[in-house]
Amino acid sequence: MPPSALSKLQSAVTQVKQVNVLKSTQVEDSPAIKVCVRVRPFIKEEVEGQRSGGECKLCIDMPSETQVRILNFDDPDDDSRAFEFDRCYWSHSKDHPFFATQETLQTELGEIMLEHAMNGFNNCIFAYGQTGSGKSYSVLGGKDEERGLLPRVVEGLFDHFAKLPQGATYKTLVAFMEIYNEQIRDLLAPADSEIKKLEVKQHPVLGTIIPGLTEAAVASCEEVLNLVDYGTQMRHVSATAMNATSSRSHCIFTFKTSLTEPDQPSKVSQTHLVDLAGSERAGRTKATGDRLKEGAAINQSLSTLARVISELAKSAKTKKKPNPPFRESKLTYILKESLCGNSKTVMMAAISPNFTDYDETLSTLKFSQSVKQVQTKAVQNAVNMSSVEAQLRAELNALKSQLQAIQDPQASDELSFLKRQDREGGCFGLCHTGI
């Protein structure tokens, strides 16, 4: 059998196996990306002076759960600027009427993501903001009550699985990666293994994929949390003048679920939880050497993200087909589907309350406003496995016939002759059909 013919046949079999797995039904829901803002407390670097010279002046106000205002103390003539968002979380001081804890985020964001995942919808939440603004705290968090969205969502996922009706089955795969200096690193790879060069690819059926990235099958919450702890330890983190534990890479945790209930279509989903590295200014972080190179790579990818969002937001206004530069950054290429495709996406903008960070905070709020205009096309990923199995069997039988014809040309000619005689209704055909 010619190698080219075998290659085409193998490719056809692969596509047949994958066909209809992502058959979808359009959802009646708001297509816009949901944008939330969270205000953190003053941090040690601000109180002790390394970050702000010891001056802590609150420049953020939150008059309602959907509005934040930023105050400019340097210009008395400049009125406060107000910004409206889907939800605003005040975590600066506990005495505020809108004070929000880690549990608040889980109740209002995490539970909705889990509901979407269990019903076959793709999800994504990404935390954006300057360095030291509280992104990693919101996504990963600390211990016990300070746990972030990621561990809480994982715990909630297996709580949902435990409540499934009898006869229901589920499968879960998890992946954990970082984008460090525009290189994709597998955070679940063994520590002593050779570092593989991973690239983002576009698959005609599966969409954006990363061949070679570890996707671990898990059966319990403990297994997932152990993998999260392992991956977090492998991630690049360093100290700067702005942040003692500054993330030097973008981090993406993904879990894929497949849920099958009796007499119901199977539901598959993919959920991303993204902790972006923070934008930073070299003059303020006092970064040199490797830290300076890392900061440049971070800023470059965030700049590409800003241009992608700008292009998508412009398209939403003009109704013209956009042409965002997704491929100019590994981050935007991986998140392409989450930013404009099949996903229910949430952006968490983390901002500093200190007036020293006024310019960066104002920039984050303006960027968040543009994200509000971007729309996705969330669909339910449901498939009737019995019909797919029947279709796959039919396709497989057809492919077997084609393979037999390629391997035995003479038999193929005889089979074609017999079929022709059958169609013509000749004597030979009548005898053949009686056999």
Is residue 10 annotated as involved in ligand binding?
no
**Which residue has better confidence, 283 or 74?**
74
Q: Does 226 score more than 90 pLDDT? A: yes
**pLDDT category, 280, cuts 50, 70, 90?**
low
Q: What is the pTM of this model?
A: 0.79
Is residue 136 annotated as involved in ligand binding?
yes
Q: For the residues 303-317, what does the mean pLDDT come to?
A: 92
pLDDT of residue 415: 56
Q: How far apart are CA 251 and CA 185, in angstroms?
A: 10
Q: Is the dihedral of CA 404, 408, 413, 418 positive or negative?
A: negative
Q: Which residue has the tokens 């106000």?
A: 61
pLDDT of residue 235: 85
**SS3 label, residue 349:** strand
pLDDT of residue 29: 61
Cα angle for residues 143, 147, 152 (degrees, 5° grid): 135
Is residue 64 annotated as involved in ligand binding?
no
pLDDT of residue 282: 55
pLDDT of residue 171: 94
Pair type for strands 169-180 and 250-260: antiparallel
Q: Does 55 score more than 60 pLDDT? A: yes
Is residue 256 annotated as involved in ligand binding?
no
Q: Does 83 score more than 90 pLDDT? A: yes
The torsion region of residue 382 among left (phi > 0), alpha (psi -120 to 50) and beta comes to beta
Is residue 171 annotated as involved in ligand binding?
no
Is residue 129 annotated as involved in ligand binding?
yes
pLDDT of residue 5: 47
Supply the DSSP symbol for 356: G
pLDDT of residue 110: 96
**pLDDT category, 283, cuts 50, 70, 90?**
low
Q: Does 127 score more than 80 pLDDT? A: yes
**Span 93-120, pLDDT tens digits:** 999 999 999 999 999 999 999 999 999 9
pLDDT of residue 294: 79
**pLDDT category, 296, cuts 50, 70, 90?**
confident
Q: Does 205 score more than 80 pLDDT? A: no
Is residue 132 annotated as involved in ligand binding?
yes
Q: Does 329 score more than 90 pLDDT? A: yes
The two tokens of residue 48 are 């002790």
**Span 1-50, pLDDT tens digits:** 454 544 544 444 344 334 333 333 333 467 899 999 999 998 887 777 66
Within 10 Å of residue 247's Cβ, how many Cβ atoms?
25
**pLDDT category, 369, cuts 50, 70, 90?**
very high
**Which residue has better confidence, 241 or 387?**
387
Residues annotated catalytic, as ranges:
132, 134-137, 275, 278
Q: Does 434 score more than 50 pLDDT? A: no
Separation in Å, CA 255 to CA 11, 50, 118, 273: 27, 38, 12, 9
Among the listed ranges 81-95, 245-259, 324-338, which one has the minimum average pLDDT value? 245-259
Q: How far apart are CA 34 and CA 375, in angstroms?
A: 9
Q: Which amino acid is at 128?
A: Y
C-beta of residue 305 within 8 angstroms of C-beta of residue 179 = no
pLDDT of residue 270: 95
Q: How far apart are CA 197 and CA 212, in angstroms?
A: 9
Q: Does 57 score more than 60 pLDDT? A: yes
Cα angle for residues 346, 201, 179 (degrees, 5° grid): 55
Phi, psi of 39 (to 5 degrees): -105, 125
Q: Which amino acid is at 395?
A: E
Separation in Å, CA 100 to CA 69, 71, 103, 138, 374: 17, 21, 8, 11, 26
**SS3 label, residue 220:** coil
pLDDT of residue 141: 93
Is residue 133 annotated as involved in ligand binding?
yes
